[in-house]
Amino acid sequence: MRISARLYDWLDRRLNLQPLERSLLDEPIPGGASWTYVFGSATLFLFGLQALTGMCLAVYYVPSPDAAYDSVEYIQHEISFGWFIRGLHHWGASAIMVAIGLHLLQVYLYGAYKRPREPMWMVGVALFLLMMGFGFTGYLLPWDQNAYWATAVGTNMVATVPLAGDFLVRALRGGTTLGALTLSRFFALHVLVLPTLIVSGILLHLVILRRVGPAGPWDEHRAGQTREAFYPRQVFMDAVVMLGAFLVVALLAVAVEFPLADRADPADHTFTPVPEWYFLFFYQLLKYTPGPLEPLASWGLPFLLVLGLFLLPILDRTPERRPAARPLAMGAGVLFLALVFTLLGISLRSLYAQPRMDPSVAHGKALYARHHCAACHRIHGEGGKVGPDLSYVADERPDAQWHLRHFRDPTSVSPGSIMPKFPLSDQDMTDLTNYMLSLKSGGAIASDGKGAA
């Protein structure tokens, strides 16, 4: 006998494992195994991946405003595979939202939330909200501009809740301002509180599944025809989808870099924060809501939506599961999806239409970092004090030619300068000059194109 079989045998004789194994693997699936039943397992798998990559990130991450950004940058650039682990965690979060969305759609389409599965649906909705909580709290942790300003907007929206709003936002931030206390409580929520809650919720979801059994096809006749066990075909299908999900997330982590924005700067109001894509439809909705109606969109609508979702099995109590016989439910579902995807589409289009940082300026900024210019020069409090402060250098030196001559040979325009000549190509000097010209008071980051083109 092989070692593993002997070990299993040894344990089985003591713990009586066979009935447990049979009950786990031979769970009957009405109508047989199907590729449409894989989304729950895929979500569970991706959650496990988030837990593992999260534990890895926690090994180096430090939840303090002084250190968070540096520690994430350290993970990204200096730890082997740090960029990969962080990429898996970032894209894994998006993948979970997709998996949950598909899982929810499948259950909705199949009418699987109906009696006797109402409790399983309600726990599922709670799990979805907890997952949103993970997304919201995790977004702040890198403490870059995006994290800071997106969380500032997110917490401000809580303030529009009537009566308790002001208190709620202070409770969420740990005071009036978004700062050290916000970061540490978001960290505690993200890595201690939410995981405990969600693991309990997942167990409950699965225990209920085992008590009521899977719903199977909506066609009663088909459901009764075959009763295939969970193992091996459904396990195989689940495994294939898990592998596919892992490959997609890993490929995204490798191919699409998820860079840190600049360090969080509460004084820099030029930054336009963008929420994660799964909050974008909501972000867009807020743009159409005039001032007095703001609370309606920022908390009223989401509250009603979540309440409706949660109470769905109570509101829709007919036992009918065939989609063709549920025109109201199908119509509402299609309308909701159309609305969400339209808002998402409009939002994405307007995001890409917005002027981003001029690529030349962005490259100049990267050159500034690569040549360690900050060792001598200071920009908005970052960097050394040997050379002049460059925070608003374009105000003093608006002439592109001056900068070009200066980069070629600093002493030619600034006698006695100790700045070394850097081996830069003409294109590099142009880009660096454009970056210098973008540094002006008034704060426009994007170059206006009148630079050293």
Q: How far is the CB of 50 from other proteins (least distance, A)?
A: 12
Q: How far apart are the C-alpha atoms of 204 and 201, rounded to whole Å? A: 5
Nearer to other proteins, 181 or 251 (CB): 251
Question: Strand (E) positions, 63-193?
Answer: none
Q: How far apart are the C-alpha atoms of 231 and 234, rounded to whole Å? A: 6
Nearer to other proteins, 77 or 421 (CB): 77
Q: How far is the CB of 74 from other proteins (least distance, A)?
A: 4
Nearer to other proteins, 253 or 452 (CB): 253
Q: Which of 242, 264, 329, 432 binds other proteins (CB under 8 A)?
A: 242
By the 8 A CB rule, do 391 and 379 touch? Answer: yes
Helix or strand run (H / E) with residue 64: none
Q: Which of 81, 167, 288, 303 binds other proteins (CB under 8 A)?
A: 81
Q: How far apart are the C-alpha atoms of 112 and 385, rounded to whole Å? A: 66
By the 8 A CB rule, do 339 and 282 touch? Answer: no
Q: How far apart are the C-alpha atoms of 121 and 89, rounded to whole Å? A: 27
Q: Which x/- pattern, by CB under 8 A, does the window 419-448 give for other proteins?
A: ------------------------------
Report CA Rg, the chain.
27
Nearer to other proteins, 80 or 441 (CB): 80
Nearer to other proteins, 235 or 346 (CB): 235
Q: Judging by DSSP bridges, how do beta strands 28-30 and 227-229 pair with one another?
A: antiparallel
Q: Does 80 contact other proteins by CB under 8 A?
A: yes
Sign of the Cα pseudo-torsion (348, 349, 352, 354, in order): negative
Beta bridge partner(s), residue 383: 378
Q: Which of 40, 63, 65, 82 binds other proteins (CB under 8 A)?
A: 82
Q: How far apart are the C-alpha atoms of 438 and 436, rounded to whole Å? A: 5
Q: Does 21 contact other proteins by CB under 8 A?
A: yes
User: Shortest CA distance to 89 belongs to which of 126, 64, 59?
Assistant: 59
Half-sphere exposure of 436 (CA within 13 A, CB side): 25
Sign of the Cα pseudo-torsion (152, 57, 128, 251, in order): positive
Cis peptide before 420 (omega within 30 of 0): no
Interface with other proteins by CB under 8 A: which range of 65-73, 298-306, 338-346, 406-414?
65-73
Q: Does 251 contact other proteins by CB under 8 A?
A: no
Interface with other proteins by CB under 8 A: which range of 63-71, 184-192, 332-340, 382-390?
63-71
Q: Which of 36, 177, 196, 226 binds other proteins (CB under 8 A)?
A: 226
Q: How far is the CB of 137 from other proteins (least distance, A)?
A: 21
Q: Does 374 contact other proteins by CB under 8 A?
A: no
Q: Does 116 contact other proteins by CB under 8 A?
A: no
Q: Does 258 contact other proteins by CB under 8 A?
A: no
Nearer to other proteins, 64 or 94 (CB): 64
Helix or strand run (H / E) with residue 12: helix 3-15
By the 8 A CB rule, do 89 and 191 touch? Answer: no
- Dihedral (Cα; 140, 144, 147, 149), 10-degree rounding: 130
Q: Does 262 contact other proteins by CB under 8 A?
A: no
Q: Which of 227, 287, 322, 450 binds other proteins (CB under 8 A)?
A: 227
Q: Which of 132, 197, 204, 235 binds other proteins (CB under 8 A)?
A: 235
Nearer to other proteins, 225 or 318 (CB): 225
Question: Which residues contact other proteins by CB under 8 A?
Answer: 4-5, 8, 21-22, 25-28, 32-33, 49, 52-53, 56, 59-60, 62, 67, 70-71, 73-74, 78-82, 84-85, 225-229, 231-233, 235-236, 239-240, 242-243, 246, 250
